[in-house]
Structure 1
Amino acid sequence: MHEEHFESLKKIKLLCLDFDGVFTTGHTFLGEDGRRLYRFSIHDGMGLVLLHAAEIDVAVMTFSNNEVIAERMRRLKIPHLDMGAHDK
């Protein structure tokens, strides 16, 4: 990358992401009790470490309203979570 690209990246303060298909593999499963289960990739953590090191804050929005999502975001240290977001 050219130096001017790095300089322009320094202007980014917030990265806002959707949850499904970004923090998951895009697959969902239903448990025997009818609860929705998600499959996560452990590789997301390294990308978030790099974003934190670059002082870029992360926010996540999702249509879903599920405690599993909230717990995953807590573990990844993402403080900004908007669950039940119908109009993203």
Structure 2
Amino acid sequence: MQDLVKAAGQVKMLVLDVDGILSNGQIIYDANGIETKAFNVQDGIGTNALKKYGIKTAIITGRSSPMVDKRAKELGVEYVVQGRDDKLAALKELLKDMDLQLEDCAYMGDDLPDIKALQSVGFAATVPNAHKEVLERAMMVTSRAGGAGAVREVCDLILKGHGVYEDFIAQYVL
């Protein structure tokens, strides 16, 4: 665990997939064909905490959805890239205009299109129900599933790695 905390302390940007990470991976259509997704409120506290401590956040997803833009805004996510199957290429393009390298990033993904990005960053995380090929390549597997607070687990670990977790928690306790 100490090695994970140390690695998380090097993270300058957390990059998230959506389906299976921020959501449970289900795609639900209503009677009018409108797509809906469910997100976990605890993830938002975590991503906003990262922002407070100067850690950037990004979303890279293969699908395109206005719900992702809305949720990203609520989460305080600064960068959103949608409709990109090649997640590594999208991440490299995103980093081109930043003073960050791949090894400065944490990436959370759960399926085959995420593997190259997971293998290229400094901290790779996934969820317990990820594809087996992803599970074999991740540094961290959260205890919670996607859409059930898995992102928050990684955010908390990053805060611990940066030595600011106790400061973050202090605002909520007496």
TM-score range, shorter chain: 0.7 to 0.9
Please say if 1:79 is aligned against 2:78.
yes
Provide the rounded CA distance (Å) in 2 between the counterparts of 1:33 and 1:5: 45
Matched length? 87
1:53 maps to a residue whose letter is: K
Change in Cα spacing, 1:3 to 1:86, as seen in structure 2 (3 Å) is: closer
TM-score (norm 1): 0.81
1:59 maps to a residue whose letter is: A
Change in Cα spacing, 1:53 to 1:3, as seen in structure 2 (3 Å) is: farther
CA contact (8 A) 1:70 1:81 kept: yes
Provide the rounded CA distance (Å) in 2 between the counterparts of 1:5 and 1:34: 42
Give RMSD over aligned pairs: 2.2
Provide the rounded CA distance (Å) in 1 between the counterparts of 2:33 and 2:4: 47
Provide the rounded CA distance (Å) in 1 between the counterparts of 2:15 and 2:69: 16
Q: CA deviation at 1:33?
A: 1.2
CA contact (8 A) 2:13 2:55 kept: yes
Where has structure 1 moved over 3 Å in runs of 4 or more?
2-10
Counterpart position of 1:49: 48
Unaligned runs of 5+ in 2: 88-174
Counterpart position of 2:65: 66
Provide the rounded CA distance (Å) in 2 between the counterparts of 1:5 and 1:18: 20
Q: Greater share of strand residues, 1 or 2?
A: 1
Q: CA deviation at 1:70?
A: 0.7
Provide the rounded CA distance (Å) in 1 between the counterparts of 2:77 and 2:11: 17
Provide the rounded CA distance (Å) in 2 between the counterparts of 1:73 and 1:10: 23
Q: Greater share of helix residues, 1 or 2?
A: 2
Unaligned runs of 5+ in 1: none
Deviations, residues 47-85 of structure 1 (Å, cap 9, x unaligned): 113322332101111111111111111111112000001
Provide the rounded CA distance (Å) in 1 between the counterparts of 2:54 and 2:69: 22
CA contact (8 A) 2:51 2:76 kept: no
Aligned sequence identity (%): 24
Q: CA deviation at 1:6?
A: 5.8
